[in-house]
Structure 1
Amino acid sequence: MKVLIAGGAGYIGSTVASACLDEGITPVLLDSLVRGRREYTEGRIFFEGDISDGALVDRIFAEHPDITAVVHCAALIVVPESVADPSAYYEANVAKSLDFFGHLRRNVCDRVVFSSSASIYQADDGSPVDERSPWGPQSPYARTKAMCEQMFADIAAAGQMRVLSLRYFNPIGADPKMRTGLQLKRPSHALGKMISCHQEGTPFPITGTSYPTRDGSGIRDYVHVWDLAAAHVAAIRRFDSLLTESEPSMAINLGTGSGTTVRELCEAFNRVVDTPLATVDTEPRPGDVAGAYTSGDLARQTLGWVPTLSLEEGIRSSLDWIPLRDEKLR
């Protein structure tokens, strides 16, 4: 079996590709390398280019006619950046995704696993959500994911595609075999900032301390990226049993089912490292919300998927990855 992974040189896409290889599925990578890394494509089938490039997509399918499904991970994902430059996000995440779907339809590929986001949910009070919870995206990035889901559902309802949207919560960690991990040296998410502050010996800023959560800090559902990758393999394998002509689209939350506040994440971080990390309370960033976490019931019922790796394991593998990242990505 072959699967096309759009954004296959990024953090999530490259990890999904590794999981596919381990499970006997051949990944074909497509990435513009705007954010992805060429190093993550070594030894893998790789096409450099944009998902909106119809001639390139046609060539991929001409050379690999046995591609049976697509995992669409290609997107810009930084919330503050989306606030500062929303037009770039709508173009990259929405307009180009629509182009991409047209190219897939032309090549008679109707199976798509879409990397969506839990940021589409109304997450004002830090409470748990499920797939039926109301939407309330609070940033341009989150709105691009909501728009894509709606767009894809309409395309699917017209009988032109089948789409399984996987709504990620907060990925952390690295491939356990250390083939790939987060490529950014100064990531904007909480754990990445914690690691940077720990390395530099500076206090970690807790951005927002008056949210309606148990300790006032934002709450998230931190899921190990390798568990996320395993969910994609399950989605590929079970795709035809889940999506039919009568139900051509669906969405599944991927999280641990356990909410962790930023202060609790700091505590977990300090259980892993030798030197404790200091913190300082600050104002929230533009686009930030209280956050949410998910029950995970639907993922268990439909994909047979239950996350197996702990928060501490995610933190530890993130730390283990850093010296390898600096060696690999020079």
Structure 2
Amino acid sequence: MKVLIIGGAGFIGSTIASRCLDEGVEVVILDDLSTGRAEFVDGRTWYEGRSDGGPLIDRIFAEHPGIHAAVGCAAKIVVPESVAAPLYYYNENVVAGLALLGHLLRNGCHRFLFSSSAALYAPGPGITEQAPLAPMSPYARTKAHFEQALEDVTVGTPLRAVSLRYFNPIGADPHGRSGIQVRRPTHALGVMIDKYHAGEPYPVTGTDWETRDGTGVRDYVHVWDLAGAHLAALRRFDTVTSAEGGGAYRVINLGSGTGTTVLELLKAFETVTGRPLPAEHLGRRPGDNAGAYPDIALARELLDWTPALTLEQGIADSLAWYHRRDTVLAPLEGADA
């Protein structure tokens, strides 16, 4: 099998590429390096360019006949940035994405696996694929709009598509080839790692939510498990998108299936490091909610997939990548990458 990974120089895309290569799947990568890193595609077959670049995509298919499917991992994903620059996000995540679909169809590629987001859903526990969509940021709304367009395209063209929705990837490639490329990540575990190394308390915002310990619930899944789910979807693509499988467009949730509270994350972090990390208990922030996690029964049924790696393993691999990152990634001039 040969697959095209759009955005294959980013955190998620490069890990999917690594897992595919490790399991005998040939990979071709397209990435414009706007957020991806050249170090993550070193030694791999890759092209530098945008997902809406028609002539380059035509060239890729001409030079690599027999591409089985395309995997879409090229979206912009930073929520605050999407609030400040909504036009940019709609152009990158929706307009460019629709152009990509046209280029794929023109080249006879009729299988598209979309790496999507569970941020489309309203907060809540055990969210199923049938839950109503309630995206709460421009970023999440671009994902929702593109998915809705993607479903329409599968009705009116030969394209078939699968959208994999998940919340927070953690960890790194277990072999140390890639991880989160930004040096100061803003997600909960990234902040926890930074506070740990700085010797500062971790801010726990909100302790009176209606959850099992009063702190917000988030869902974490190891990036290597996510890569395995993408590979399983590629291998089962024709079955999943058949009439018997549910039609030309399918949505499948990925995740832990249980969620993790902030205090549970903190306890797991202390278990991995063997050292206490003081916490600073603060009030709720504007816009916060009790959190959410998805139901993953459909992933078990259709993909034979459940996460194999624990929260603690994700934390350990994130810490290992923190120490390895600067030996893999060269500094970017003029920026705190």
Shift of 1:211: 3.3
For these two proteins, the number of residue pairs brought into alignment is: 328
| CA distance in structure 1 between the aligned counterparts of 2:240 and 2:303, rounded to whole angstroms | 9
* Aligned twin of 1:42: 42
Residue in structure 2 matching 1:143, options 121, 141, 144: 141
Residue matched to 2:177:
179
Structure 1 counterpart SS, 2:108: coil
Distance 2:319 2:146 in 1: 33
Q: Which residue of 1 aligns with 2:205?
A: 207
CA contact (8 A) 1:208 1:218 kept: yes
Q: Give the TM-score normalised by the residue count of structure 1.
A: 0.95
Amino acid in the other structure paired with 2:275: T
Mind listing any 5+ residue stretches in structure 2 that lack a counterpart?
331-337
Q: 2:150 aligns with which of 129, 133, 152?
A: 152
SS state at 2:116 partner: strand
Alignment partner of 2:182: what SS? coil
Q: Distance in 2 between matches of 1:284 and 1:17?
A: 39
- Between 1:31-40 and 1:210-219, the stretch displaced more is 210-219
1:260-292 superposed Cα distances (whole Å, 9 cap, x missing partner): 011211111111113322222345566543321
User: Mapping of 1:1-330 within 5 angstroms?
Assistant: 1-123=1-123, 126-244=124-242, 247-282=247-282, 288-330=288-330
Give, in whole Å, the separation in 2 of the partners of 1:45 and 1:208.
46
3-state secondary structure, aligned to 1:83: helix
1:284–1:39 distance in 2 versus 1, CA, 3 Å: farther
- 1:310 counterpart letter in structure 2: T
Question: How much has 1:295 moved relative to structure 2?
Answer: 2.4
Deviation at 1:244, TM superposition (A): 2.6
Q: Please, what is the CA RMSD of the aligned residues? A: 1.5
Counterpart Cα distance in 2 of 1:213 and 1:187? 26
TM-score (norm 2): 0.94
- The residue type paired with residue 181 of structure 2 is Q
CA distance in 2 between partners of 1:96 and 1:114 (Å): 14
Identity %: 56
Structure 1 distance, partners of 2:72, 2:291, is: 24
Residue range with higher mean Cα deviation, 318-327 or 36-45: 318-327
Whole-angstrom distance in 1 between the partners of 2:86 and 2:213: 32
Unaligned runs of 5+ in 1: none
Structure 1 residues 176 and 4, CA gap change in structure 2 (3 angstroms): same
The question of whether the paired residues in 2 share the 8 Å contact of 1:80 and 1:287 is answered with: no
Q: Distance in 2 between matches of 1:35 and 1:17?
A: 16
In structure 2, the CA distance between the partners of 1:84 and 1:208, relative to structure 1 (3 Å rule), is: farther
